[in-house]
Structure 1
Amino acid sequence: MPKHLVSIKDIDRSFIEEVLKLAEKMEDNPDEYSERMKKKILATIFFEPSTRTRLSFESAMLRLGGKVLGFSDPNTSSVKKGESIADTIRMAACYADVIVMRHNLEGSGRVAAEFSSVPVISGGTGVQEHPTQALLDIYTIYKEFGRLDNLTIGLLGDLRYGRTIPSLLYAFMKFNNIKVKLYSPKQLRARMTVLSDVEGKLDFEILDNLEDTISELDVLYVTRIQKERFPDEGDYERLKGAFEIDTTLMSKTKMDMILMHPLPRVGEIAYEVDDLPQARYFQQAKNGVWTRMALLEILAGEES
């Protein structure tokens, strides 16, 4: 059992399945778990903006009967005075039983885990990874199909800077016969370091045209172009609007295909698509509560 969750690479299939099974139980009978963390405190330490990750972790802890403290603007903390990540985490561990941290620097999650005396969960680390987003995405897929093997999954969008993409690829390679199709502008293809990590362990192909193969997909996962990650704003301006999922394109999919997006969306999915039976992105966001409740219970509950 891991003490921290910093990377999907640190966990195995059995741990993922444990999280999914507990999340399912919590969703089916939330009252049974409403006091599991009543003596526990969660610290949310967010150095970058967040809506879904921070609020769903806070909702998860409150639903488990626990309490929450933290900050969502580092300018209101001693980081503004020059305090290091290590010291910030040491202090948070004095006041809380579990920490969720989001930071823009790659490797910051590892630093936090090294210096924390309590479990650390990554809420996203630069462009590196977003492990809990991947887990809630997998839970969404599992709920829909009842399995995580024998699926064809398309990833569309900013595969270079979207931190969920590496976590998803690392998770998919733990299951059997998952085929992944990677669609993106050439400038936004998945990083070679990530593809090297999954080479030989995951069946994937890099494609330019979604329309030609969309009918083969069980899942289409769309990501926004990450404006805040671009070193040159001019490059972003040239690439924004490079793709959009609309009802015409969706008419070419399987009827039981599901459309996912980690949100926020910025023009990648037309609003008219929201009413289609394949749209799952709002349910996907809600699933973050159950998945994160399960993680908190497993890593920081009374029996952890």
Structure 2
Amino acid sequence: MDCGFLLPDLYSKLLSDTNTRTGGHLAPPELDLKLQAGARCLSPNPFCSTARHKSDSNPNLYGSPMTVGSHGLTGQHILTVDMFSKDQLNDIFNLAQTLRISVQKERPLDHILKGKVMASVFYEVSTRTSCSFSAAMQRLGGRVIIMDEASSSVKKGETLEDSIAVMAGYADVVVLRHPEPGAVSRAANYCRKPLINAGDGIGEHPTQALLDVFTIREEIGTVNGLTITMVGDLKHGRTVHSLARLLTLYNVQIRYVSPQGLSMPSHIVQFVGSKGISQEKFDSLEEALPETDVLYMTRIQRERFSSQEEYESVCGLFVMTPQLMTWAKRRMVVMHPLPRVSEISPELDSDPRAAYFRQAECGMYVRMALLAMVLGKC
């Protein structure tokens, strides 16, 4: 559908037409993100051979082709950040901002996805991604069904493909996390409903990248012209892999600080460089911090190492403290996808530049926007 009327006036036209949606009963003003008459959601067919586009920067991932529409996300799989255009990001972020204001002002939003069901399928543990997707769906009036590896027929030997095919029959949208890179893309071939990648091993985490860029925009007011420094386990960190790629849509400079052996993978560096983005490597936080606008900290991921000794040899090398923050600009932000272990001192939490908990909250609003758009309700 044409959502063009939503954006210029910050969705002012959505605060009307309540009686139509409530069967004639009175209700307070609320966001109306319903499809216009005649519009329909396009869902991928199961086991079909329709065209898909391969991710330019991750050979394990394929994205669905864009449908015709104002944002082109209705009915689409969300597998890789490479599928997004700058205009689509603006649409997602503008809607997320509007939904954020509505939640903060306690305006009802539960009509938007009323009657819709989201399947939450997590083969890896999760707190923020799992809970924020569930909260997003429920705030919009939808419901959530949950499947995990520990309590499902996976224990009996059921394949990922079969599980996803079954869950697609129960739900309108499927959110999947899996420890194997490329597994989400493979599962998408068996999912006749929109499938959202919630993290695939050390591969991609597209919705995390979306919320990260949204957070930067909300905190600083712009993304263009910023210096963004990524710190920690850049080799295994799917969050920084997706974020670095998504940032190529903006005019930014990227800096990398990591322990030896945990640097950003060469294919990511090459992809970012091919887009004309300036990149630099630094050996210390003290060296990189003074010109940094966004400090993106990440943990050393214990689960990615084969031994405790190997993990401990690189753990604790880069720790952000209030003392180190004296090197930083007065106007900058510290972000972290969480969970943190020891890489950010809890004493830093009271610093107004510490944005990581606000960042986690932003994830809910971005996922609310994405679910509404993918399900054709905007």
Matched, 1:157 2:232: yes
Q: C-alpha separation between the residues in 1 aligned to 2:376 and 2:122?
A: 22
Residue 39 of structure 1 aligns with which residue?
115
CA offsets per residue over residues 231-265 of structure 1, 9 Å max, x none? Answer: 33321011111111001100111111100001110
Output the CA distance in 1 between the equivalents of 2:123 and 2:250.
Answer: 33
- Which whole-Å CA distance do the structure 1 matches of 2:376 and 2:361 have between them? 22
Partner of 2:78: 5
Match of 1:16 in 2: 89
Per-residue deviation at 1:179?
0.2
Matched, 1:147 2:212: no
Equivalent residue for 1:180?
A: 254
Corresponding residue pairs, total: 301
Q: 1:51 aligns with which of 127, 130, 153?
A: 127
Equivalent position amino acid for 2:262 in 1? L
C-alpha distance in structure 2 between counterparts of 1:229 and 1:14, whole Å: 35
CA contact (8 A) 1:183 1:209 kept: yes
The Cα shift of 1:277 comes to: 1.3
Render the CA deviation track for 1:241-292: whole Å, top value 9, x for unaligned: 1111001100111111100001110000001000111100000001111000
Q: Secondary structure at the match of 1:102?
A: strand
Normalised by the size of structure 1, how large is the TM-score?
Answer: 0.96
Contact 2:229-2:288 at 8 Å conserved across structures: no
Amino acid at match of 1:21: N
Q: Is the 8 A contact 2:206 2:242 kept in 1?
A: yes
The AA in structure 2 aligned to 1:120 is L
Distance 1:125 1:228 in 2: 14
Q: 1:70 aligns with which of 146, 149, 159?
A: 146
Code of the residue aligned with 1:206 in structure 2: it is K
Task: State the alpha-carbon separation in 1 of the partners of residues 110 and 227 from structure 2.
Answer: 37
Quote the Cα distance in structure 1 between the aligned partners of 2:266 and 2:254: 16
User: How far apart, CA to CA, are the structure 2 residues paired with 1:82 and 1:154?
Assistant: 43
What letter corresponds to residue 188 of structure 1 in structure 2? L
Q: Is the 8 A contact 1:62 1:68 kept in 2?
A: yes
CA distance in 2, matches of 1:144, 1:69: 33
Structure 2: how far apart are the matches of 1:146 and 1:257?
Answer: 11
Q: Secondary structure in 2 aligned to 1:144?
A: helix
**Matched residue, 2:59:** none
Q: In the aligned structure 2, how far is the partner of 1:216 from the partner of 1:66?
A: 44
**Which letter maps to 1:40?**
K
User: Which of the residues 225, 237, 244 maps onto 2:312?
Assistant: 237
Look up the equivalent residue of 1:9 and give its one-letter code.
D
After TM superposition, the structure 1 stretch with the greater mean CA deviation from structure 2, 180-189 or 79-88, is 79-88
CA contact (8 A) 2:282 2:288 kept: no
Contact 2:122 2:177 in 1 (8 A): yes
Deviation at 1:226, TM superposition (A): 0.6
Structure 2: how far apart are the matches of 1:247 and 1:302?
Answer: 44
- Between the aligned partners of 2:187 and 2:109, the Cα distance in structure 1 is 28
User: Which consecutive residues of structure 1, in runs of 5 or more, have no partner in the other structure?
Assistant: none
Q: Which of 260, 264, 268 is the aligned partner of 2:343?
A: 268
**Aligned residues with identical type, % of pairs:** 41
Whole-Å separation in 2 of the counterparts to 1:168 and 1:218: 15
Q: How high is the TM-score relative to the length of structure 2?
A: 0.78
User: Equivalent residue for 1:212?
Assistant: 287
For 2:213, what is the secondary structure of its paired residue? helix
| CA offset digits 1:11-56 (Å, max 9, x no partner) | 2211111111100000011335321000100000000000000000
CA distance in 1: counterparts of 2:167 and 2:146, whole angstroms: 8
Contact 2:285 2:318 in 1 (8 A): no
Q: Is the 8 A contact 1:220 1:259 kept in 2?
A: yes
SS of 1:182's partner is: strand
RMSD between superposed Cα atoms in Å: 1.2
- Kept in 1: contact 2:234–2:263 (CA 8 A): yes
Structure 2 segments unaligned to the other structure (5+ residues): 1-71
SS at match of 2:361: helix
134-143 or 32-41: bigger deviation:
32-41
- Rg (Cα) greater in structure: 2
| Per-residue Cα deviation, 1:66-116 (whole angstroms, up to 9, x for no partner) | 000012x30211111111111111001000000100000010111122211
Task: Answer yes or no: is 1:169 the counterpart of 2:244.
Answer: yes
Measure, in 1, the Cα distance between the counterparts of 2:305 and 2:89: 32
2-side partners of 1:203 and 1:34: how far apart? 44
